[in-house]
Amino acid sequence: MKIDMYSYAENFIVEDEALVNARSRGAEVGAQDVSVGTGSFLRHLAHTISAQSVVEVGTGAGVGSIWILRGMIESGTLTSIDDEAEHANIARTAFAEAGIAPARFRLITNPMMEVLGKLTDRAYDLVVLRHDPEDLSFSIEQAHRILRSGGVLVIDAFFGDGKVPDPAQRDARTIALREAGKNIRLDSSQWISTLINVGDGLLLATKL
């Protein structure tokens, strides 16, 4: 019998009631939330780098946000940006159910391109991008500006529903993801990068 190692890894950590409820609310409104494996990886990453200040673009129902907050130091603050007010509302409910104090997060529903440009230089430990990939070039540039040296950029769902590795796929979204990955990989003066096969793919890049 062949063992499905991907499914085993994705379900290695079991979500609690707060996360299950958040995921269910997200499904009802069509929010794009992280897989269990992706969430547990982000929690581990936030803990490993002792993240204190994190920016997340794409709040969804708050599933990924909760995973990240649980890995950050206790005094850490998450800034989560999503242009859908409904997402912010259900994420706030999820945070309350998870016992996360309001002082530990700020939910912003202004357009991402307006918000990122106003954040402070070299002030963040981790930036997680989970949004329209056609805006990735701008987001990556801003992420590099706001990350401290040694800070980490994560592009979630980098495989683009499995299309990015397939050269026959040439839609705008897929091309944007490919180009973003190529640019980061080749820019060895600013980033050291790797690609992780978890969820729909995670591209990680550490700021040099």
Q: What is the pLDDT of residues 73-127, one digit of tens each?
A: 999 999 999 999 999 999 999 999 999 999 999 999 999 989 999 999 999 999 9
Query: What tens digit of pLDDT does each residue of 122-161 get?
Result: 999 999 999 878 789 999 999 999 999 999 999 999 999 9
The class level of CATH for 5-207 reads: alpha beta
The order of strands in the sheet holding 191-196 is 105-108, 77-81, 53-57, 124-129, 147-156, 202-207, 191-196
Contact 126, 154 (CB under 8 A): yes
Strand partners, 54: 78, 126
pTM of the entire structure? 0.94
Give tens-digit pLDDT for 45-79: 999 999 999 999 999 999 999 999 999 999 999 99
Which sequence spans correspond to the domains of the chain?
5-207
Q: How far is CA 35 from the centre of its chain?
A: 11
Q: Residue 18 half-sphere exposure, CB side, CA atoms within 13 Å?
A: 17
Centroid of chain to Cα 176: 17
